Amino acid sequence: MLHVNWAKGINLALVGALMIGCSHTLEVKNISEYKSDALVQKVNKPITVGIVFDEGDNPELRQIVKEVGSELQKYTTKVVYPYNANGHNKVDVEARVSITPHYKGSGANFWINFPGFLVFAPAWNGYVYKVNYDVEVVLFDTVKNKSIDKFSLPIKLDIRHSSINRTWTEISWFEVGAIAFISGLVFTQYSPGVTPLVINATSRTLGDYIAEEIVNRLNASGLYSKIFPLEVTEWLAGL
């Protein structure tokens, strides 16, 4: 009896260690690709930009577009989001934003789950996911009633993450490997629970990335006078 109790105790301790150790905090391996060190210059001519976003079946992406508005505010006079073209508040430029998400798992997750548990791969590597956003932006001059520019921004995020709701299946190694093997096949698919984590972790960076490109396109159009950095504009205004 004592021997059995000791065996159970050891197994419980191992299971506890598994529960604690087999998780990997969300990591975006390539987020630095969407951070710019370049100086983005403010639109010197006072203009108001309204952001129109058709969320379709992806209301969770509103957080990214909200951050586009917040970051865009640094470069222009006023930003209205959400903007309703039929409302009372009129803007000079409409930024019509659409984001189409694509979520993918990876075949590598099978090997991470089975037999990767032997080296605790879910904990130190995490499962592999791909989160891609196809961003389309149309800039429209509401005063002259004509298009200013249209551009696409492909965003491809390389994600690592694991949580106990998946890694618990690896306790099958204490008995037979069938559970870890079968779940390894299942885990090659994307985990929807990762989506809000990715949005929370990346929305500000991606919002700034999209906002900078909007400003660059407005500047390149030549419609909004000479451009100065924000600090220079404020210094000139104080003279």
Does 14 score more than 70 pLDDT? no
Does 173 score more than 80 pLDDT? no
Q: Coil, strand or helix: which one is 132? A: strand
Contact 23, 163 (CB under 8 A): yes
- Alpha-carbon gap, residue 24 to 125, rounded angstroms: 7
Q: Which two tokens stand for residue 8?
A: 């159970």
CATH among 3.40.190.10, 3.30.830.10, 3.30.160.150, 3.30.450.20 for 2-237: 3.30.160.150
- Alpha-carbon gap, residue 32 to 49, rounded angstroms: 27
Considering only 11-15, 52-56, 104-108, 208-212, which range has the smallest mean pLDDT? Answer: 11-15
pLDDT at residue number 2: 44
- Alpha-carbon gap, residue 207 to 53, rounded angstroms: 13
pLDDT at residue number 196: 95
Q: Where are the domains of the chain?
A: 2-237
Q: What is the pLDDT of residues 65-123, one digit of tens each?
A: 999 999 999 887 799 999 998 887 889 999 999 999 999 988 677 666 665 454 455 65
pTM of the model: 0.75
Amino acid of residue 106: S
Q: What is the DSSP letter of 211?
A: H
Mean pLDDT of the chain: 77
- The better pLDDT of the pair 128, 20 is held by 128
